[in-house]
């Protein structure tokens, strides 16, 4: 039996029947990581010893019948999610040796469910980037082709799932950081409704945009993980206190009569022809199953990227101010007084992309510029949300490409921030509007790289988003996983 090829739900059955143990599953993934990691660099920190202990505990839970859907299934966590006494670096020199004294709420949920944690995955520094090239620990490679980026910022999590280093992973998505790497690596990634998943313990990039979400090989597996982490949390004031369905149960709902919106603003010049073709094919698949396809407008979409880069950088300039060398993290040796300590600590601890965004955000919030930048961005943000509100009176879900193109090569965009930022052009709107969006594979390009299609749904309509994705997945079939030479 090739454990690595089994889906999470298949593993569940095998575990329940006693035909396999969590320890065996975890060991199989450890072996895979040890073999593939030198090529991929998906992880910053590996926690095998603890994972095996967790596996034994999970096996105990299964024997005692106190287990749930994901008990015994291993997972990888993006390295901006706080883990008790385990390094949480955000792929930054600033936090190279930082070990949080507490678990993020999502980590508590994972541990309670008995999911062994394999390690902490690589990312763009402080989640700022679209390729993992800004990581202090070096880039992660795309398992489909090692010359290409896996996307970012959750590139390590995406690559680990695509390369069968983990069956599931968690990432965070501020402007596309789950969906874009999911698209680039040919897996499913979900950015839930803002407030569905607790942000407590997740090192913030932009607080009003950040959400934690799952990576999985298939829609059903991603739904299972979403059900686990989508819990109300009284320690996150922005957590929504509404009933939470079991998302696995919502998949089978058929799409007959479903109104599917296709916004013309997402089919622009510069959209790769193969990407467009794949998305059209996914739309056609829904139409064939009885969905109604509606052309819609989201007129402020072209302002989303500019709006996003003001809101996100403004918030990050404040969120990242606490890295001052006083209480934790890196502190410069070159320190005369508190001011030089702040300056040198931050000059040494942050990489260039983080510094660029802190400066942009500081500028946008400065006296005399606030109204022209930040306040205006908030107004446009509202217009973008209203675009969606209006669209969702006519349609149930919206389908777009996840990214304008497939994965790009290392070094191709890292020297040109604007070109890099443009890879988020289709994903930032969902964050600005606070609504859920999912990326799933919709085919392969002629050079054998995955293409992602994005499904956007109204606030808290994860169920219809997932059932739509499930229908597309059934119709298009799997693109498979990359044949990684090891």
Partner 1 sequence: MPLEDYTIVIGLEVHAELATDSKLFCGCSTSFGSEANTQICPRCLGLPGTLPVLNKKAVEYAVRAGLALDCKINKFSKFDRKNYFYPDLSKAYQISQYDQPICEHGHVEFYVGGEKKVVGITRIHLEEEAGKSIHSGTSISDSDFSLEDYNRSGIPLIEIVSEPDIRSPEEARIYMETLRSILRYIGVSDCKMEEGSLRCDANISLMPKGATVFGTRTEIKNMNSFRAVQKALEYEAERHAKLLDSGEKIVQETRTWDDNLGITLSMRSKEEAHDYRYFPEPDLVPVILEDEFVTDIKNSLPELPAEKFRRYLEEFGLPEYDAELITADRDLAEYFEAVVAIYNKDYKAVSNWIMGEFMRLMNEQGIEVGEVKIKPEDFAAMLKLMDEGVISSKIAKVVFEEMFNTGKEPKTIVGEKGLVQISDSSAIEQIVADVIKDNPGPVAEYLGGKDKVLGFLVGQVMKLSKGKANPQMANEFLKKALAELSKNQ
Catalytic annotation, residues: 78, 153, 177
Residue 33 or residue 104: which is nearer to partner 1 going by CB? 104
Burial bucket for residue 306 (CB in 10 Å: 0-12, 13-18, 19+): middle
User: Is residue 370 near partner 1 by the rule CB under 8 A?
Assistant: yes
Give the nearest distance from C-beta 321 to partner 1 in angstroms: 3
Q: What 3 state SS string does 324-348 have? A: CCCCCCCCCCCCCCHHHHHHHHHHH
- Residues 33-52 touching partner 1, rule: CB under 8 A, are none
User: Is residue 322 near partner 1 by the rule CB under 8 A?
Assistant: yes
Cβ–Cβ under 8 Å, residues 174 and 181? no
Helix count (H) and strand count (E) of the chain? 15, 11
Residue 167 or residue 204: which is nearer to partner 1 going by CB? 204
Distance CA 266, CA 403 (A): 10
User: How many CB atoms lie under 10 A from the CB of residue 327?
Assistant: 8
Any bridge partners for residue 440, and if so which?
Answer: 453
User: Is residue 95 near partner 1 by the rule CB under 8 A?
Assistant: yes
138: CB partners within 8 A, 6+ apart:
41, 122
User: Is residue 84 near partner 1 by the rule CB under 8 A?
Assistant: no
User: Is residue 127 near partner 1 by the rule CB under 8 A?
Assistant: no
User: Is residue 359 near partner 1 by the rule CB under 8 A?
Assistant: no
- Residues 207-236 touching partner 1, rule: CB under 8 A, are 207-208, 234-236
User: Is residue 372 near partner 1 by the rule CB under 8 A?
Assistant: no
Residues 166, 39, 222: CA angle, nearest 5 degrees: 20
Classified as helix, coil or strand, 144 is coil
User: Is residue 338 near partner 1 by the rule CB under 8 A?
Assistant: yes
In order, the DSSP letters of 291-326 are PEEEEE--TTGGGHHHHHHHHHHHHHHHHGGG-SSS
| Among positions 145, 231, 318, 332, the unique one binding partner 1 when judged by CB under 8 A | 318
| Among positions 27, 328, 348, 385, the unique one binding partner 1 when judged by CB under 8 A | 328
| x/- letters, 137..176, toward partner 1 (CB under 8 A) | ----------------------------------------
The pair of structure tokens assigned to 458 is 């109204």
User: Is residue 237 near partner 1 by the rule CB under 8 A?
Assistant: yes
Backbone angles phi, psi at 37, to 5 degrees: -60, -40
Q: Single out the segment in contact with partner 1 by CB under 8 A; choices: 28-36, 193-201, 264-272, 350-358.
A: 193-201
Q: Single out the segment in contact with partner 1 by CB under 8 A; choices: 12-20, 287-295, 310-318, 445-453.
A: 310-318
User: Is residue 307 near partner 1 by the rule CB under 8 A?
Assistant: no
User: Is residue 373 near partner 1 by the rule CB under 8 A?
Assistant: no
Q: Which DSSP symbol is given to 422?
A: G
| Among positions 38, 367, 418, 485, the unique one binding partner 1 when judged by CB under 8 A | 367
| Among positions 27, 68, 238, 332, the unique one binding partner 1 when judged by CB under 8 A | 238
User: Is residue 242 near partner 1 by the rule CB under 8 A?
Assistant: no
User: Is residue 327 near partner 1 by the rule CB under 8 A?
Assistant: yes
Distance CA 246, CA 348 (A): 46
Selection from 394, 385, 429, 438 nearest residue 294 by Cα:
394
* Residues making contact with partner 1 (CB under 8 A): 80-82, 88, 90, 95, 98, 100-102, 104, 199-204, 206-208, 234-238, 314-315, 317-318, 321-324, 326-328, 338, 342, 362, 365-367, 370, 374
């Amino acid at each position: 039996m090739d454990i690595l090829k089994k889906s999470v739900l298949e593993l569940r059955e095998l575990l329940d029947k006693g035909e396999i143990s969590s320890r065996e599953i975890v060991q199989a993934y450890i072996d895979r990581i040890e073999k593939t990691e030198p090529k991929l660099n998906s992880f910053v920190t590996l926690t095998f010893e603890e994972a095996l202990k967790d596996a034994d505990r999970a096996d105990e839970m299964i024997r005692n019948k106190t287990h749930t859907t994901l008990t015994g299934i291993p997972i990888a966590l993006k390295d901006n999610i706080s883990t008790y006494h385990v390094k949480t670096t955000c792929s930054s020199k600033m936090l190279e040796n930082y070990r949080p004294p507490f678990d993020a709420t999502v980590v508590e949920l994972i541990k309670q469910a008995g999911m062994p944690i394999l390690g902490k995955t690589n990312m763009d520094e402080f989640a700022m980037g679209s390729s993992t090239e800004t990581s202090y620990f070096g880039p992660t490679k795309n398992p489909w082709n090692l010359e290409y980026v896996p996307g970012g910022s959750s590139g390590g999590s995406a690559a680990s799932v695509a390369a069968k280093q983990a069956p599931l992973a968690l990432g965070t998505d501020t402007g596309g950081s789950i969906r874009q790497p999911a698209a680039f690596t040919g897996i499913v990634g979900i950015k839930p409704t803002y407030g569905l998943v607790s942000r407590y313990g997740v090192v913030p990039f932009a607080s009003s945009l950040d959400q934690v979400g799952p990576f999985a090989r298939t829609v059903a597996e991603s739904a299972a993980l979403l059900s686990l982490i989508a819990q109300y949390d009284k320690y996150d004031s922005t957590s929504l206190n509404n009933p939470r369905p079991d998302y696995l149960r919502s998949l089978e709902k058929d799409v007959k009569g479903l109104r599917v919106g296709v916004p013309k603003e997402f089919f622009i010049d510069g959209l790769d022809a193969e990407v467009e073709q794949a998305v059209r094919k996914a739309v056609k698949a829904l139409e064939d199953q009885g969905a109604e396809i509606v052309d819609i407008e989201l007129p402020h979409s072209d302002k989303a990227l500019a709006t996003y880069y003001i809101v996100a950088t403004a918030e990050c300039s404040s969120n990242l101010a606490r890295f001052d060398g006083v209480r934790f993290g890196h502190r410069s040796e070159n320190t005369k007084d508190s001011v030089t300590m702040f300056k040198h600590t931050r000059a040494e601890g942050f990489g260039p992309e983080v510094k660029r965004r802190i400066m942009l955000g500081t500028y946008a919030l400065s006296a005399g510029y606030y109204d022209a930048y930040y306040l205006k961005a908030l107004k446009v943000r509202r217009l973008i949300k209203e675009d969606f509100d209006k669209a969702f009176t006519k349609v149930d879900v919206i389908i777009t490409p996840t990214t304008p193109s497939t994965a790009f090569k290392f070094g191709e965009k890292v020297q040109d921030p604007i070109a890099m930022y443009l890879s988020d052009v289709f994903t930032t709107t969902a964050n600005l509007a606070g609504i859920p969006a999912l990326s799933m594979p919709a085919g392969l390009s002629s050079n054998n790289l995955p293409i992602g299609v994005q499904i956007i749904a109204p606030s808290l309509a994860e169920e219809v988003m997932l059932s739509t994705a499930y229908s597309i997945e059934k119709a298009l079939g799997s693109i498979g996983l990359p044949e990684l030479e090891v």
